[in-house]
Chains A and B, each alone.
Chain A
Amino acid sequence: MKNFFQYVNKKIKNIKFASKTKILIFTILGGIIFTSFLMFISIFALKYDFEVLFQNHTSPQVKLEEIKDIYQVNIKETLNALKENQISNAEGIEILSLANQLANRQWQEYKKDVSKKVGGLPEFASNWLNFFLTNNDSLKKSLFEQRITDNIEKKIGSIGEKTQSLISLLKKNQAKIDIKLIDNTILESNSINIYLSTLITNNLKRAISKKEANDKLFDTSSIMLIFLLSFAFALIILISIAIINNFKELHYSLEENILKKTKELRVLNSSLERRVKREVENSRKKDNIMFQQARLASMGEVLHNIAHQWRQPLGALMMIIQSFQSKYELGKLNEKFVEDTTNDALKLGQNMSETLDDFRNFFMPNRVKQRFDVRKAIQKAIELSKYQLEKEKISLEFSSDKSLVIYGFKNELIHVVLNLINNAKDVLTSQVELKQKMILVILKQTKKNIIINIIDNGGGIKDDIITKIFDPYFSTKHKSMGTGIGLYMSKELVQRHMMGKISYKNIKHKFGQIKFYNSAMFSVELPLEVMKDYG
C-alpha cells in the first residue's frame, strides 16, 4: 500500500503542474456532476416508489375496505333485516340496488387505481436505477392475486345477479318465500368479504415487500453515493496534496535558485569590479600606447623638420670651410676674413645645437609642470612645423596680445598646437587649386580663459563627420598620411591634463583684404585659474 502510494506520488510528481491542475479541476467537476446525477436519480426513484406505494397499494385499499363494508353492512344487514322483516320491501329494494351499484363502481375504480402507472421522469429514473442495480421487478402481480381478483369479480357478478333476482321477487312480495336465496346471497357476500380481506392482506404484504426493496435501493444508492463521494474526495485530496507538494517544491527550488543566483551575482559583481579595474587599466595602457604612437608620428614629421633645419646651416658651414681653403690657395686669407667667417660659423653651429635641444626637449618623455610663456610655446610649435609649411607654400600668421606666463605642461601644449597646425597643413596641401594657402594662429586672453584659435582656409569639415573628428582612429586621410589619433590625443591632453576645452567650428573668415573663405577653426580654451593654481 505504501509502495503503491509512493508509486502514485512519483507518477503525479512527474506530471506537469498545469496538467495536475487540469486533472484536479476535472476530478472535482466530474465528482460533482456524477454525484448530483446519482442524487437526482435516487430522489426520483424514491419519489416513484412512494407514488407507487400510495397509488397502487394505499388508496385502493380504502376502496376495498369500502366494498367490504358495502357487502358486510348494506347487503348482508339488509338481507338479514329482510329475513326478519324488520324493513319494508321497498326499503330493501332501494338499499340493495344502491349497494350493488356502489360495490360495482368501487371495484371498477379499484381496478383502475391498481393498474394506474405513475409514469414520467420518476418512473424512468426508477427503471434505470433498477436496471442499474439489476433489481428486477419481483412485485409483479402474482398468480394468486390474479386469481383472487378474478374470484372477487365473479362473486360480485353472482351477488349482483342474486340481489337482482331477489329485488324482482321483492317487488312481487314473494321474498319471504325464498329464504334460501337470501341465505345464499348472505353466504356469498361473506365469502366475497373473505376474498376482499385476503386481497387487502396481500396488498399490504406487497407494500411491505416494496418498502424492503425500497430500503435496499436506498441503501445501495447511499453506499454508491458515499463511495463515489469518498473516491472523488480522495482523488481531490491526493491531487491537491500533489499540487501543494508541487508548490512547496517549486517554492524551495525557487528559493534555492534565488540563493544560487544571488551567490552568482555576488561572485559576478566582485569579478566585474576586478574586470572594470582591469579594463580601466587596459584603456589607460591603450591610451599610453596611442600617445606613444602619435608622438612617434609627429616625431617623424618633426625629424623631417630638424633634418631640413640642419641642412641649411650645414650647407653654409661646409661652404665656409671650403672658403678657407680657397682663400688660402689664392693667398687672400687675411685676419679680418678669418675672424668674420669664424664668427658666422660659430653662430651657425649654435643654431644647430639649439635645434637639437628643441627636439630633445619636445620629445623628452618626462612630463614636468613648469612655468612657461604660452606665446613662446606656440612659436616653438610653429617653428617645428615651419619647414613643412614652407614646402607646401603655406603662409602662417601668428597674432597675440601679449606674453602669458602660465604653469603647466609646456610640451603638451606645443604638441596640441602642432597637431592642429599639421591638420591645417594637410587639408591645405590637398587643395591643389587654392592659390593662397593660409593659417592663422590667434592667442587671446579673456577674464577666465586663454584661448588659442587656429584657423585655415582649407574649406572646413563636412557636417556628417564633424561629430567624429575627435574619435580615436577616425581619419579621412590615406593610411600612410594619418592614423586619426591627432585630434583624439589633443582632446585628451587639453581636457585631462590642462582641464580645458577643445572645440571645432566651420566659419567664414576674411583672409587678407578682400576674400572670405570657408574656414576651419579649432579653439583651445584653457582656464587661467587652474593653470595658475598650480603656481
Chain B
Amino acid sequence: MDKRNLDILGNFNILYIEDEPELLKHTAAVLEDFVKNIFAVLTCKEALSVIQKNKVDIIITDINLKYENGIEFLKELKYDLGYDIPSIVATAYTDTDYLIDAIKLKVEDYIVKPINLKDLLNAIHDILLPIAQEKEINNSYNMIKTISAVTDGKQVELVKFILKNLDDESMFNYSYGDIMNHVDVSKPTVIKFFRQLSEKGILTKIQNKRYFFNENNLPDPSEEIDE
C-alpha cells in the first residue's frame, strides 16, 4: 500500500475549504497537479455555491474556520441539503469533541494539521479508489458487452464459463464434453477456441481435463481502449 497509483485522482473534482489564505493557496497549488479540478475556498458560503454549480467528488475542510465550523457545514450539507459527498476534515486539534462529531457524521477520514502532503494524497486516494474501481469495472463490463455484440457470441459465452470456473490456482478442470454440457456450443468451436488461447499462452494444457489460465499473458486492455 506504500505506493499508490495516484493517477486515478486525475478524474475527480476536489473542494477544499480553509480560512487561512496562504495555506489554501499553496495546498491548492500542489493538489491541482493531481486532480481534474480543485475548488479552493475560504468560507462555507463559497463552498456551497461551488457544490451547487459543479460536480464535487470529495470535500476537504478545516474544522476551525473563521466564525464557522467545518463539521457543522458538513452536517448541514448531508442532513439538510441531502448531498452525500465523501469528506476529509483537517484539524489542528486532536480534540475528542471534534473527533466524536466527525465519527458520528461518518466522515471518511481526517488529517492533522500541519498537513503532510503525502498523507493527504493517500487519504484522497483511499477514498477515491473504490469509486475509480467501480467505474473501471463498469467500463470493462460495457466493453465486453460491446465486443460480444459485434463478434461471435458463442466465444464470449465460453470465456465467461472458463473464468467463472477457475479454481484457486487458476486451473480449469473440465473436459470438452463437460463444457458442451454447460455451454451451448459445438465441439469444433470449442477445440478451435482452445487452440487460439493456447497459441497466445493464455490457456495451457497441463494434462487431460486440466488447463492453466495465465493472467499475465493477457493483452493490456487500456491500451486498446485509449486507441
Residues of A within 8 A of B (CB): 311-316, 318-320, 322-323, 325-327, 330, 332, 337, 341, 344, 348, 390-391, 393
Additional 15 contacts, C-beta under 8 A, given A315-B113, A323-B29, A348-B22: A312-B20, A313-B22, A315-B92, A316-B26, A319-B27, A319-B115, A319-B117, A320-B26, A322-B116, A322-B118, A326-B117, A332-B33, A344-B22, A344-B25, A393-B67
A312-B20, A390-B66 known; A319 vs B33 contact (CB < 8 Å): no
| Cα(A138)–Cα(B133), bound, Å | 171
B22 touches A318 (CB 8 A): no
B26 touches A341 (CB 8 A): yes
Residues of B within 8 A of A (CB): 20, 22-23, 25-27, 29-30, 33, 64, 66-67, 92, 113-118
| Cα(A330)–Cα(B29), bound, Å | 13
CB-CB under 8 A from A313, the residues of chain B are 22
Q: B121 — nearest CB in chain A belongs to which residue?
A: A326
Most buried by B among A319, A327, A348: A319
CB-CB under 8 A from B22, the residues of chain A are 312-313, 316, 344, 348
CB-CB under 8 A from B25, the residues of chain A are 344
Q: A329 — nearest CB in chain B belongs to which residue?
A: B33
Question: What is the CB-to-nearest-CB distance from B116 to chain A, in angstroms, rounded to a whole number?
Answer: 7
Most buried by B among A312, A348, A391: A312
Q: A391 — nearest CB in chain B belongs to which residue?
A: B64
CB-CB under 8 A from B20, the residues of chain A are 312, 315-316
| Cα(A316)–Cα(B67), bound, Å | 20
Most buried by A among B20, B22, B92: B22
CB-CB under 8 A from B26, the residues of chain A are 316, 319-320, 323, 341, 344
Q: What are the 8 tightest A-B residue pairs by CB atom distance, in nearest-first order?
A: A316-B22, A322-B117, A315-B114, A316-B23, A323-B30, A319-B26, A318-B114, A312-B20
| Cα(A144)–Cα(B42), bound, Å | 164
A322-B117, A323-B117 known; A330 vs B23 contact (CB < 8 Å): no
Q: A312 — nearest CB in chain B belongs to which residue?
A: B20
Q: List 24 A-B contacts (CB under 8 A).
A: A311-B92, A312-B20, A312-B22, A313-B22, A315-B23, A315-B115, A316-B20, A316-B23, A316-B26, A319-B26, A319-B27, A319-B117, A322-B117, A323-B26, A323-B30, A325-B117, A326-B33, A326-B117, A341-B26, A341-B29, A344-B22, A344-B26, A390-B66, A393-B67
> Looking at the complex, which one of A311, A319, A390 makes contact with B30 (CB distance below 8 Å)?
A319
Question: What is the CB-to-nearest-CB distance from A512 to chain B, in angstroms, rounded to a whole number?
Answer: 15
| Cα(A398)–Cα(B168), bound, Å | 75
Question: What is the CB-to-nearest-CB distance from B152 to chain A, in angstroms, rounded to a whole number?
Answer: 45
Most buried by B among A315, A323, A391: A315
| Cα(A316)–Cα(B30), bound, Å | 12
Q: A394 — nearest CB in chain B belongs to which residue?
A: B67
| Cα(A314)–Cα(B115), bound, Å | 10
A318 touches B29 (CB 8 A): no
| Cα(A322)–Cα(B23), bound, Å | 12
| Cα(A332)–Cα(B30), bound, Å | 10
A327 touches B66 (CB 8 A): no
